[in-house]
């Protein structure tokens, strides 16, 4: 293929997982480059973070749906990612379900990180779900994206104990630390040509 793997990063929030991947690239421990960062939120922190890293950043309006993109918008997103020659689409806190327009355009080449040990606690605020369920441990999962919510094949997991006195905030912070270590490891496997 020649050259490092080009990533397209989609995010809706602060962008801490994007930062972890960008830091791994800068440190020389991940042979990849971020071609573009795209958000469905116009003032998302991930866009500002991308600009600080010198990465093209763009807002793509999602359309009228709350949990997914309009089909035309998804087709536009796929076209933008293709134009940047993206080899792997990395979801970093992207809060929309992807449908056939994007999943079909990048088959097996879209990954997501989720803050639980899937298949337990898919969906929003998974750390809070684990805490309220009285679990002894939770963690994070990197998985391929399919057409369901957090249902794609699992690529890697990291476990995080739930400690006495944990709040949703303290637990979430420890899960995020685990995410920041795990996500670059999985992307590294794609960059090395290993099909995880």
Indicate which residues carry an active-site annotation. 114
Residue 186 in contact with residue 142, Cβ under 8 Å?
Answer: yes
How far, in Å, CA of 173 to CA of 121, rounded? Answer: 17
Angle between helices 168-191 and 16-26 (to 10 degrees): 40
- Could you give the angle at the alpha carbon of 195 between the alpha carbons of 82 and 88, nearest 5°? 20
CA neighbor of 21 nearest in space, from 193, 194, 186, 195:
186
Query: Omega of the bond prior to 119 within 30 degrees of 0, cis?
Result: yes
* Beta strands, E only, 77-135: 88-91, 110-114
Look at the alpha carbons of 164, 128, 39, 42 in this order and tell me if their dihedral is positive or negative: negative
């Amino acid at each position: 293929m020649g050259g490092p793997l080009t990533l397209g990063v989609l995010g809706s929030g602060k962008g801490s997982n994007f930062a972890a991947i960008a830091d791994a690239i800068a440190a020389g421990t991940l042979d990849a480059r971020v071609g573009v960062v795209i958000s469905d939120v116009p003032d998302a922190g991930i866009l500002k973070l991308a600009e600080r890293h010198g990465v093209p950043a763009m807002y793509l309006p999602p359309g009228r749906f709350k949990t997914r993109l309009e089909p035309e918008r998804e087709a536009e997103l796929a076209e933008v990612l293709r134009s940047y020659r993206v080899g792997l689409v990395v979801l970093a806190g992207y809060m929309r379900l992807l449908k056939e327009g994007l999943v079909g355009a990048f088959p097996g080449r879209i990954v997501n990180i989720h803050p639980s040990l899937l298949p337990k606690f898919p969906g929003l605020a998974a750390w809070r779900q684990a805490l309220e369920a009285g679990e002894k441990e939770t963690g994070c999962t990197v998985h391929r994206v399919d057409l369901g919510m957090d249902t794609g094949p699992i690529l890697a997991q990291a476990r995080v104990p739930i400690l006495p006195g944990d709040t949703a905030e303290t637990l979430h912070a420890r899960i995020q630390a685990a995410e920041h270590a795990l996500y670059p490891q999985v992307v590294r496997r794609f960059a090395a040509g290993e099909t995880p």
